[in-house]
Amino acid sequence: MKNFIIGTAGHIDHGKTELVKALTGTDTDRLKEEKERGISIELGFAELKLPNGTTAGVVDVPGHEHFVKNMLAGATGFDMVLLVVAADDGVMPQTVEHLAIVDLLGVSDGVVAITKADLVEEDMLELVREDVGEALRGTVLEGAEVVVTSSRTGEGLDELLQALSRAAERVRARDSEGPFRLPVDRVFTLRGIGTVVTGTLWEGSVADGEEAVVQPRGKPVRVRNVQVHGEEVERAYAGQRVAMNLPGISKEEIARGDVIVSPGHLRPTLMADASLHLLHSAPQPLRNRARVRFHHGTSEIMARVVLLGGREELPPGESHPVQLRLERPAVLRYGDRFIIRSYSPITTIGGGRILDSHPRKHRHHQMEVLEELEVRGRGDPAELLLLALEERGLPMSLAALVERLELKPGDVEGAVRELVAQGRLVEITGESGPLYLSPSLLSDLLDTMVRLVEELHAANPLKAGVEKEVLRQRLGERVVKGRNSQLPAEEFLALLRAAEKESRLETEGGKIRVKGKGRALGERERALLEDLNALIREGGFSPPLFKELGERLGLDRNRLRDLLNILLEEGRIEQVNPEYYLAAGKLAEAEEKVLAFLAERERLSVADLRDMLGASRKYAIPLLEYMDRKRITRREGDFRVSFKSGRG
């Protein structure tokens, strides 16, 4: 069944609360001050059963100009609006302001109720009808049904319910699939229960016992006792008015404006790119970097509006891309609607739609960003996907694309299939699943990898290839945007596999090289290799150590290490430790002698090995340590025994 919210709108004292009471039987004015003053100050809530069998949540908003902030906290959750105009007053300032807010928020449908019909003559009613028709012209409510009512006499109430039913059938159902989001509009405590929050569930669904996060502070909580219109339910769905208990968090740790979300769903941000429309009624043009009140969900945040593309001001009645720079974090999503009000005097001046909830910081005169935001404004999933890949410059998984684009997973999956079929997207193999990027981006990345390998190989011709970690670091420095140049291992390995698949790179022994190109040795290097091998072979168990080898051959540490690695790879020498190398076969010879000795005497000292091999202590000790590491021997005090002795 479709769940939706009907919100009231209209000037103070036009009978919104009385009309809601007449329709639902609920008095939404619950505060003592509201009773004493006879006006709505805070949001009120009720349940309305419509003739077509559906049940709607009703949010009754205050009409006084001083409480428009509270009205906005409720209006952002509207699916349709019940605009109320009093027959004895006609269209008034807050009628116009509320209508502009509803229009800016993209509320898709609604009904107009002319109230207090019992207080005026028919001629006056006709004038009010004309007044209302003029006010609705050019707004989302142009052409909406207008019903004349009286809460006191009951006139028109049945007709109003029928009109609301017809409008409700046209309202698009909210998406209850996937993670949930609930902007908090009330927080209170109940004895024996603890902290309770209420709000309109914008998306997803939530059930008792589920994990959640209070954003933007990032406080993890567990949901308890989910209720809809005062009745406990197994699960609440998008479009319903929801109350939930949050044990383990105090009333002081959560407030109106916070958002309860599923873990991992949506991150706070201090910036957003948006399309902004300045109302015709705005008292003056909006200057670049103007300070405004940004209303989103149930929050109000001070912000600066940066007019993009070099504009210095935005005249009333015009729209333009902007970057919103917030003074505290907000929880936004692509496509969300917002309202801005002037800093002082406080009045509604415009609103718009979020185009990027986590953008780069743009310069005021940066022109190319306008094209990007035009793509974002069109909202085509395939275009948005390609734009995200272009911005990142690296392959992305389906999950990463869903997170970045903030679209439904099904829409992103559909765009991926479409682009792959068209050849505008390619799939490469990642450790945890496929990664996607454009053919041109893949070509550019592989070209960069090959150039880097060639550069590193040319600088180190004695090496068999480039170490993976070195190439990953250098590639990150070239292609990762932003201050952190770390290239994730999964994406690097996926690109490496793609390069190998195309026969552009090959990996052997953990080293990467250009396909068909190996180590480049000149005559001088070959001669040095033979001299080095001879020094180690002729030294028996007592060859020159690393430093002595370098001094004899006149080699620096890096070049000597490269030559030793070549001999190791060719199997002509063996390594005891980084300073001590033996000719091939000498370690097996030493092991055979040690085991034969231990078979007769059970214990071996350093002096015994020294005499056995004809090598000094500086060679005997590292040889014994090597055998300990290889589990040939085991140390007991100053002696070695066979590793297997004394062990089951």
Three-state secondary structure of 532-593: HHHHHHHCCCCCCCHHHHHHHHCCCHHHHHHHHHHHHHCCCEEEEECCEEEECCHHHHHHHH
What is the identity of the amino acid at 626? Y
Q: Does the pLDDT at position 145 exceed 90?
A: yes
Per-domain residue ranges of the chain: 5-170, 181-261, 269-373, 380-500, 523-583, 586-642
Q: Which of 208-217, 277-286, 479-488, 631-640 has the lowest mean pLDDT?
A: 479-488
Mean pLDDT, residues 80-86? 94
- Provide the pLDDT for residue 29: 60
186-200: pLDDT as tens digits: 999 988 888 999 999
Paired strand residues for 330: 269
- Cα angle value 80/408/328 (rounded, 5°): 75
- Name the strands in the sheet holding 109-115, side by side, starting at the edge strand that comes first in the sequence: 44-49, 55-60, 5-9, 80-86, 109-115, 146-148
- Cα angle value 152/24/72 (rounded, 5°): 100
Phi-psi category of residue 298: left, alpha or beta, with phi > 0 → left and psi -120 to 50 → alpha: alpha
Parallel/antiparallel/unpaired status of strands 55-60 and 44-49: antiparallel
Report the chain's mean pLDDT, rounded to a whole number.
Answer: 90
Parallel/antiparallel/unpaired status of strands 194-200 and 186-190: antiparallel
CATH number of the 586-642 domain: 1.10.10.10
Mean pLDDT, residues 33-62? 74
The pair of structure tokens assigned to 411 is 């829409």
Q: Does the pLDDT at position 248 exceed 60?
A: yes
Mean pLDDT, residues 109-132? 93
Mean pLDDT, residues 415-435? 95
- Provide the pLDDT for residue 39: 44
Q: Which of 161-175, 411-425, 508-522 has the lowest mean pLDDT?
A: 508-522
- Does the structural domain 380-500 have CATH classification 1.10.10.10? yes
Contact indicator for 157, 50 with CB cutoff of 8 Å: no
Mean pLDDT, residues 405-430? 95
Contact indicator for 304, 290 with CB cutoff of 8 Å: yes
In three-state secondary structure terms, 125 is helix
In three-state secondary structure terms, 293 is strand
Q: Does the pLDDT at position 34 exceed 50?
A: no
- Check if 380-500 and 586-642 are the same fold: yes
Reported confidence tier of residue 78, pLDDT bands at 50, 70, 90: confident
Q: Does the pLDDT at position 469 exceed 70?
A: yes
- Percent of the chain scored above 90 by pLDDT? 69
Q: Give me the CATH topology for the region 269-373.
A: Elongation Factor Tu (Ef-tu); domain 3 (2.40.30)
**φ, ψ (nearest 5 deg) of residue 43:** -70, 140
- The label of the residue with tokens 């592989």 reads 446
Arch. (CATH architecture) of 5-170: 3-Layer(aba) Sandwich (3.40)
- The rounded distance, in Å, linking the Cα atoms of 178 and 190 is 30
Residues with Cβ within 8 Å of 191's Cβ and at least 6 positions away in sequence, in order, are none
Q: Does the pLDDT at position 372 exceed 90?
A: yes
- The rounded distance, in Å, linking the Cα atoms of 493 and 21 is 64
Reported confidence tier of residue 263, pLDDT bands at 50, 70, 90: very high
Which carries the bigger pLDDT value, residue 40 or residue 258? Answer: 258
Expressed in percent and rounded to 5, the helix, strand and coil fractions of the chain are 35, 30, 35
Mean pLDDT, residues 334-339? 95
Contact indicator for 208, 65 with CB cutoff of 8 Å: no
- Provide the pLDDT for residue 346: 87
Mean pLDDT, residues 323-338? 96
Q: Which CATH superfamily is domain 181-261 in?
A: Translation factors (2.40.30.10)
- The label of the residue with tokens 């790879």 reads 569
Reported confidence tier of residue 81, pLDDT bands at 50, 70, 90: very high
Residues with Cβ within 8 Å of 606's Cβ and at least 6 positions away in sequence, in order, are 617, 620, 621, 624, 638
Q: What is the 3-state secondary structure (H, E, C) of 61-113?
A: CCCCHHHHHHHHHHHCCCCEEEEEEECCCCCCHHHHHHHHHHHHCCCCEEEEE
CATH number for the 523-583 domain, one of 1.10.10.10, 1.10.150.120, 3.40.630.10, 1.10.1040.10?
A: 1.10.10.10
